[in-house]
Amino acid sequence: MVIKHNVVAVPARLQSSRLPNKVLADIGGMPMIQRVLERCREAQGIDVVVLCTDSSELQELAKSWDFPVLITDENCSSGSERIASVADALVGLAWEEDPSCWDPALRSKRLSHTAVINVQGDQPFLDPLIVTKMVREFQLCESAPAVVTPVYRLSADTIHNPAVVKTLLASDGRALYFSRSAIPHVRDVDPSEWHRHATFWGHVGMYGFRGDVLAGWDQLPHSPLEDLEKLEQLRLIEAGYTVATFQVEGTSLSVDTADQLEQARLMAAADLGDP
């Protein structure tokens, strides 16, 4: 099963509970969502970058920036659910074909030979190289993995921060579990010293899905672990999917609060050489 096409899907909505309209916030003279889309377009090996949204305002803006848009239901509970709801259309854009014309066998082939990379719309400083590496990870495998996600080494001061998502890795790089708690637990050692006994990995909030896996998102069984940790990737783990990982140097800033938005603006000003 070889990946032949790659599409980046950027889910976005205006009604963010913590910071409404954040994707339209000005960062360095450009709306945040435009910065994300433009950075995705810089990645190598991508056939198309698509905005997936329930907002007609975002739809019109993205079209003016020359990005295709797919309209989704406003009741989607997560970014993965949002892009999964239009999985066929995303794959069709990558293949430049109309999915409504596919027979079942052709649909299955198109989905399984396409990687859909989910990039959140609140990462204005996303490194395009991470998207490029995601594409390469799919290409390196003789059989395309179900899901691929980047991880990074955690510093000692972030291991016990519940806002930082941790990934427990097997020796072959598979993700065994994701948690807001520090994993693995280092028995009989003070928690402040755990970093001296094990490597702790953080999770970058980006996923590459094989198209057929994404299309079956709404068929995945209910995940009690997802409910407990509030981490959607645990639904995949509980359903038995293999989540492959690759290492990157660090995570990029995600804007969820007013303080993080101010931080993003300061970072943009520094990049532009402003005083």
Domain CATH code at residue 206: 3.90.550.10
Token pair for residue 29? 């003279």
Distance CA 255, CA 241 (A): 29
Q: Strand (E) positions, 55-200?
A: 69-71, 114-119, 147-153, 166-169, 175-179
* Residue 51 phi, psi (nearest 5): -90, 130
CB 179 within 8 A of CB 165: yes
Structure confidence at residue 272 (pLDDT): 56
Q: The whole model's pTM is what?
A: 0.92
Asked whether residue 64 carries a pLDDT value surpassing 70, the answer given is: yes
Structure confidence at residue 144 (pLDDT): 77
Max mean pLDDT among 72-76, 235-239, 254-258 falls in 235-239
Residue with tokens 């030979």: 113
Percentage of the chain exceeding pLDDT 90:
83
How distant, in Å, are the alpha carbons of 4, 43, 112, 213, 215 from that of 1? Answer: 9, 23, 7, 13, 16
Mean pLDDT, rounded, for 83-91: 97
Is the N-terminal amide bond of 191 cis, ω within 30° of 0? no
For 160-198, write each residue's pLDDT tens digit: 999 899 999 999 999 999 999 999 999 999 999 999 999
* Count of structural domains, the chain: 1
Residue 14 buriedness (CB in 10 A; 0-12 / 13-18 / 19+): middle
**Domain residues for 18?**
5-272
Residue 1 pLDDT level (bands cut at 50, 70, 90): low
Element (H, E) at 226: helix 224-229
Asked whether residue 274 carries a pLDDT value surpassing 60, the answer given is: no
